[in-house]
Amino acid sequence: MLTGMSGTPYTPPVTRRTVVRSAIAAGVIAVVACALLIPAGYPLWALFGVVGLALGLANAILAVISVTNFATTQPTKARFVRSVLGRLAIITAIAFACALLFRPSGFGVFGGLAMYQFVLVVCSMLPLIKEIRQR
């Protein structure tokens, strides 16, 4: 089993950097969204957009932890799939609850989730593009 300095399971540096970059980008997007939406009279849209960004970040962090645990402890694939589906079900339930309970501004959660996924894909592609250009 590969472990880091603190005894925690090993996570590749590129994975850590991707999550950190996406977290920073999500923070910048949250600040810009709040700066634009609150003065425009849409504070709840801003709030729920930030909640969506936070849910996306939480999902990314939990996904890294889940994959790291799967790689080190080697549980069954069924257990791993249940873990993934459970995490996604919880995030989806929270998003739908916000959307239904705080209509229409609660739908901002889906915008935040979508924006975070876009940011995560872009941040994941940066190391790949860098490596391709070096060759």
Evaluate whether 105 touches 42 at the Cβ level (below 8 Å): yes
Nearest CA to 1 out of 64, 80, 75, 69 is that of 69
Q: Residue 13 above 60 pLDDT?
A: yes
Provide the residue range defining the domain that includes 48: 13-134
In this structure, what token pair is assigned to residue 48? 């729920």
At residue 8, the pLDDT reads 66
The answer to whether position 54 is within a domain reads yes
More confident residue, 89 or 6: 89
The answer to whether position 5 is within a domain reads no
The answer to whether position 6 is within a domain reads no
- Chain segment 57-103, per-residue pLDDT in tens: 999 999 988 888 887 787 788 888 888 999 999 999 999 999 999 99
Q: Residue 27 above 80 pLDDT?
A: yes
The number of domains in the chain is 1
The answer to whether position 76 is within a domain reads yes
Q: Is 104 exposed, middle or buried, given 0-12, 13-18 or 19+ CB atoms closer than 10 A? A: exposed
The answer to whether position 36 is within a domain reads yes
The answer to whether position 69 is within a domain reads yes
The answer to whether position 3 is within a domain reads no
The answer to whether position 95 is within a domain reads yes
Report the mean per-residue pLDDT for the chain: 89
